Amino acid sequence: MTERAFIPLSIAVLTVSDTRTPADDRSGDTLVERLETAGHRLADRRIAPDDIDAIRVAVLGWSKDPAVDVVITTGGTGFTGRDVTPEALEPIFDKRMDGFSIVFHRVSFEKIGVSTIQSRATAGVVNATFVFALPGSPGACRDAWDGILQAQLDYRHRPCNFVEIMPRLDEHLRRGGLSA
């Protein structure tokens, strides 16, 4: 079997928080460090408040930008009143990626045990762009990147990966919409 060449992706990172600033955004820093170390490019990075509209504006904007391949959010996936990232993202998913949450919780369980149930990590496809919503801790960002995203965002990963299906994510749009 021949070795595939690495294909660098352009990844946008959104930290969802009412309190974080660029100076103390450790979760965003963790994601940027990991994605750049893996050979990908940081397309953009922002901090948005815990606000459904602000989260949607950022993610929808990036999903429509041909220079952005993937969006990763961190924060707002818990159960407090301000945690609204799943509420912001799940209604705009063209397709939901149920397996991401399942695998994330399995990876997380190995590190923090049953405390993983306090996360509503989610993922899906928006306008042919993969979107991953991670908890707002550096540890959770490390677990998600190291345990899932690093492999799935690497074209060389076998037996399959997200990169190889990216050109076909908008097939339903080219056919005139989703079939019922």
The CATH number for 10-166, chosen from 3.30.70.100, 3.40.980.10, 2.10.109.10, 3.20.20.70, is 3.40.980.10
Confidence of residue 172 (pLDDT cuts 50, 70, 90): low
pLDDT at residue 170 greater than cutoff 90 = no
Region 175-180: what's the mean pLDDT?
A: 52
Q: Give the pLDDT score at 109.
A: 96
Q: How many CA atoms within 13 Å lie on the side-chain side of 64?
A: 7
Q: Give the pLDDT score at 2.
A: 72
Mapping DSSP onto H, E and C, the string for 98-162 reads HHHHHHHHHHHHHHHHHHHHHCCCEEEEECCEEEEEECCCHHHHHHHHHHHHHHHCCCCCCCCCC
Q: Enumerate the domain spans of the chain.
A: 10-166
pLDDT in tens, 92-112: 999 999 999 999 999 999 999
pLDDT at residue 23 greater than cutoff 90 = yes
Instruction: For the chain, give the mean pLDDT.
Output: 94
pLDDT in tens, 120-152: 999 999 999 999 999 999 999 999 999 999 999
Question: 0.85 cut: is pTM over it?
Answer: yes
Q: Give the pLDDT score at 179.
A: 47
